[in-house]
Chains A and B, each alone.
Chain A
Amino acid sequence: MNRHFNALNRSYLRACLLGFSALFSALAIWVPPIDKEVDVMDVMFVIDITQSMNVADMRYQLEAVNRIMWSTEMVHDVVQEMDCGSHVGLAIFSQHRSLVLINPVEVCKNYDVLVQMLAHIDGPMAWELSSEVSKALFSVIKNAHKIKPIPSIVFLTDGHESPPLHETIRPKFTGTPGVVSGLLVGVGGDDLLPIPKRNKQGDVLGVWDVKDVLHQDVYVSSRFNMLGADKRVAKTEHLSSQKRAHLRALAGIVGMGYISDVQKVQTLINAIKKEATTHPQIIKYSLAPWFSFGALLLLIVAYYPAISRKKRV
């Protein structure tokens, strides 16, 4: 009698499994994609292309590269990993301001364009030799307000100010910290290294000499009475290292994050995700994979040999 029940139960069970499997397959076919909210970012990458960024003290995939090259490669890798629906813009920094090359565009549709543009970014694009990092950062933030929606800023720089800043007289940030979110990515090592001198064509013409650059800010240089105090300072402005303390302080002033010594792309992506403002975007999300998973699972159970064996008397 028990055995008869089993035979009947088994048939029932399999009929049910097959039935639901068929139902799930039908749902996979006829249930339309649903709206789903995903968090996407709008990021404006700003790459420092001033002379100090020509110092080759970075490593990208085991190769020694200069700071500009490292920055463009990193941005390239980040862009590659970003979710569709996110927007990326590119800007460069020279003199005391940034120049936006392209406003944020959707990454998946415009991936090729972004990659081609990144490949163009290099030292010769700089229109002036000076490198006023603080002012440039403030100008980036100002420009960001003119773009809708306001992008988060990822600013890749070594923090080398040329001409140097006075300890107390610094450019003022007039905005509200944190309104434009972002991240300063410190580029460059800790050793003071000579800076290659490049001309408009990009050729290297030796290095910057101690006599070529200002070692004090313009304000002090013009005031005789303050000059004496600064005279003892070692003249190192023709050499360059990453100015960590300065970058950390700048990040604090504008309410952004600061990261340096980035080895892996994922580290940078995580840092950007942590700092960047995300906004929800509706995407079409298909449930078909879930239905097919269900249908397949039921079918496997229906034909799994153990069912029969277990019930065997």
Chain B
Amino acid sequence: MSFGGLYWSLPWLLLLLPLVLLPWWRHKQEHVVAWSRFVPVDPLSRIIGLLFKILASIAIAGLVFAFAGPYLPEKEVERIGEGAEIVLLLDRSRSMDDPFAGSVETVQVGLVTPATDKSKRRMAGRFLNEFIQRRPDDRFGFVLFSSEAFDLLPLTYSKGAILATVNASMLGKGLSDTNITKALVKAAKLFEGETYRGARIVLLVSDGGSSELDLATQERIINLYKKQSLTIYWIYLRSRKGMTLDVHAGDSPLWVDLPERHLHAFFKSSKLPYRAFEADTLEDFSKALDDINEQQYQTLVVTEIISKEDKRQSFFVLALLALFALLLSQLYTVWGVRQAHG
């Protein structure tokens, strides 16, 4: 609750504020005096008396305010940082459960344990985890996709949230097929309605392409990506040894019509900012991430949250000062009474 420009954690305690009137209560300790003229007129002591009542009220008010827990709520401030806004598209299809094409280890069925599990998805997750931690200013979003796509995590600064989402994607088995087009659309939509803060990247990590690449879809993707000024990075985890995204002379005829080649050709022809990294091995994958890490340090507007600020202290200091003055005067009174009755 807000009151007096501050927020209060226990606002109902402010109901104790009328206690400030206590010192002003008639103490009735004076004796009946037959004639008022017997009472000496002493304006100075009257002023001093008033002053101490005010001080007592201040002390009580200070403590009541401090007790009610005043604070300034957390607030957002913008600063200029370096980095990018990145939406991660991590393929959750079944094929991602296989090891890297270039890996020499063969995984025996039934012997897959977390320790020896070299599945592409788990490896990718582990390295993405590291990548995220290396980039302090970046804002991350996450799209989960297999045959369908879900914009699971909107762009967030919470490193805890993005890491927990990436780590979650390393659990369990893959879902079904790879359908990148739906995921690409969802990724672009995460930027809709966001103010432009700096470099915007869609980082796709997958081992397959898309079978639904008709012209209408292509146009839709191009428009969306242009409108949101998105750059596409595709870390392609090769599923067939020796296969490249670019067509080469002497290629196996089986590779010609692969969805990943279609997608690559589309990205290249789209005139969208695009770069593909082909990873056969874990080293390739981590090198691709290093490359992206180095390239993407542009000016970025970063929103930071300044955490809630406790404002109790100043009220305590105020109360303490008033109390100190009151205490001194009271000690003087004790001394005076002693002198009088000693």
Q: Which A residues are within 8 Å of any B CB, using their own CB?
A: 4-5, 7-8, 11-12, 14-15, 18-19, 21-22, 25-26, 28-29, 89, 91, 97-106, 109-110, 112-113, 116-117, 120, 124-125, 127, 139, 143, 146-147, 200, 288-289, 292-293, 295-296, 299-300, 303-305, 308-309, 312
Contacts and interface: CB of A to CB of B under 8 A. Distances in A.
A102 B153 contact: yes
Interface centre among B56, B63, B153, B330 (most CB of A within 10 A): B63
Interface stretch (B237-245, B264-272, B281-289, B315-323): B315-323
Contact of B176 (A21, A127, A139, A304): A127
Given A22-B324, A127-B148, A305-B28, A102 B165 contact: yes
B147 A127 contact: yes
Contacts, number: 158
A7 B341 CA distance: 9
Given A18-B323, A127-B147, A101 B168 contact: yes
Nearest to B20: A303
A311 to B, nearest CB: 8
B167 A125 contact: no
Interface of B: 16, 19, 22-23, 25-29, 56, 59-60, 63-64, 66-67, 69, 114, 144, 146-148, 150-154, 156, 158, 160-161, 164-165, 167-168, 171-173, 175-176, 312-313, 316-317, 319-320, 323-324, 326-327, 330-331, 333-334, 337-338, 340-341
Nearest to A7: B337
A284 B324 CA distance: 29
Contact of A308 (B29, B66, B67, B327): B29
A21 B144 CA distance: 59
Given A101-B144, A143-B172, A11 B334 contact: yes
A25 B59 CA distance: 10
A295 B326 CA distance: 14
Question: What 4 A-B pairs come out closest when comparing CB atoms?
Answer: A22-B323, A103-B164, A100-B168, A303-B22
Contacts of A98: 172
A102 B28 contact: no
B327 A15 contact: yes
Contact of B19 (A14, A110, A293, A300): A300
Contacts of A21: 59, 63, 323
Q: Which residue, of A11, A98, A102, A117, has the highest number of chain B Cβ atoms within 10 A?
A: A102
Contacts of B164: 89, 102-105, 110
Interface centre among A91, A103, A143 (most CB of B within 10 A): A103
A309 to B, nearest CB: 6
28 contacts: A7-B341, A8-B341, A18-B323, A19-B327, A21-B63, A21-B323, A25-B316, A25-B323, A29-B320, A89-B164, A89-B168, A97-B173, A102-B164, A103-B167, A103-B171, A105-B158, A106-B160, A113-B154, A146-B114, A288-B66, A288-B316, A289-B67, A289-B69, A292-B316, A293-B67, A296-B60, A296-B67, A312-B28
A97 B153 contact: no
A28 B314 CA distance: 11
User: Which of B148, B151, B152, B156 has the most chain A CB within a 10 Å cutoff?
Assistant: B152
Nearest to B60: A299
A14 B63 contact: no
A305 B151 contact: no
A101 B67 contact: no
Contacts of A105: 158, 160-161, 164
A300 B172 contact: no
Contact of B316 (A7, A29, A113): A29
A293 B316 CA distance: 12
B67 A304 contact: no
Given A15-B333, A305-B22, A146 B338 contact: no
Contacts of A113: 153-154, 156, 158, 161
Contacts of A295: 63, 319, 323
A142 to B, nearest CB: 8
A224 to B, nearest CB: 32
A105 B159 CA distance: 10
Nearest to B333: A11
Nearest to A90: B168
B161 A110 contact: yes
B217 to A, nearest CB: 16
Contacts of A103: 164-165, 167-168, 171
Nearest to A88: B164
B333 A26 contact: no
Given A139-B172, A292-B67, A308 B312 contact: no
Most buried by B among A11, A98, A304: A11
A5 B342 CA distance: 10
Given A22-B323, A25-B316, A101 B152 contact: yes
A3 B154 CA distance: 76
Given A295-B63, A299-B59, 10 more contacts: A7-B337, A11-B333, A12-B334, A25-B316, A89-B168, A103-B167, A105-B160, A127-B147, A147-B171, A305-B26
Contacts of B27: 305, 308-309
Contacts of A303: 22-23, 25, 56, 60
Centre residue among B23, B173, B319 by max chain A CB count within 10 A: B319
A66 to B, nearest CB: 19
A303 B60 CA distance: 10
Contacts of A125: 148, 150
Nearest to B27: A308
B160 A109 contact: yes
A138 to B, nearest CB: 12
A309 B29 CA distance: 7
A141 to B, nearest CB: 12
Contacts of A200: 148
Contacts of B60: 296, 299-300, 303
Contacts of B326: 18
